[in-house]
Amino acid sequence: MFSIKNVVTVALMQVGVIVAGILGAGASWKWLKSFSVLPIPMPIAMLMNYGVAGLVIPLIWIMLVLQVRNRPDISEDMKSVAFISGIILLIGLVIGIGYAVLSPWFTVDWHGPQED
């Protein structure tokens, strides 16, 4: 069976990824704004404006996992699946937030500079 220490560690990693993503989105937007006049990409706008709401994700996950862990009628395999779902959630957060933070670095300006 997994320990509470492992559950807390995974939840803290999820929180760390979300916080780093919010800070990274702000830095990416500042970088993009200083070099081009492109509008803010939607993934960065969503992360900058609503990223703090993402902190509910680890909270809900840890509540559900600890409830599953404390129920005696659930098998050990299902308890392990509940824990592994947190690791899968962490990987999904890294991929999604990584895409949002890195998306402006790969934005192509097809119009080029305007000459008047």
Over residues 17-68, the pLDDT tens digits come to 999 999 998 888 888 777 766 777 888 888 888 989 999 999 999 999 999 9
Please check whether residue 109 is in contact with residue 36, taking contact to mean a CB–CB distance below 8 angstroms: yes
Q: Which pLDDT score, from 0 to 100, does residue 30 have?
A: 85
**Domain count within the chain:** 1
Q: What is the pTM of this model?
A: 0.84
Number of helices and strands (H, E) in the chain?
4, 0
Indicate whether 113 belongs to any domain.
no
Indicate whether 10 belongs to any domain.
yes
Indicate whether 111 belongs to any domain.
no
Tell me the average pLDDT of the chain: 86
Q: Which pLDDT score, from 0 to 100, does residue 28 have?
A: 86
The CA distances from residue 72 to 3, 22, 66, 78, in Å, are 15, 39, 12, 11
C-alpha span between 107 and 55 (Å, rounded):
28
Task: Using pLDDT thresholds of 50, 70 and 90, give the confidence band for residue 15.
Answer: very high
* Cβ neighbours around 62 below 10 Å, total: 19
Q: What is the average pLDDT across 94-110?
A: 81
Residue-range definition of the domain harbouring residue 36: 4-106
> Any residues with CB less than 8 A from the CB of 111 and at least 6 apart, and which?
none
C-alpha span between 64 and 61 (Å, rounded):
5
Indicate whether 112 belongs to any domain.
no
Least confident of 4-8, 9-13, 37-41, 61-65: 37-41
Element containing residue 90 per DSSP (H, E): helix 76-102
Least confident of 3-12, 27-36, 79-88, 93-102: 27-36
Indicate whether 115 belongs to any domain.
no
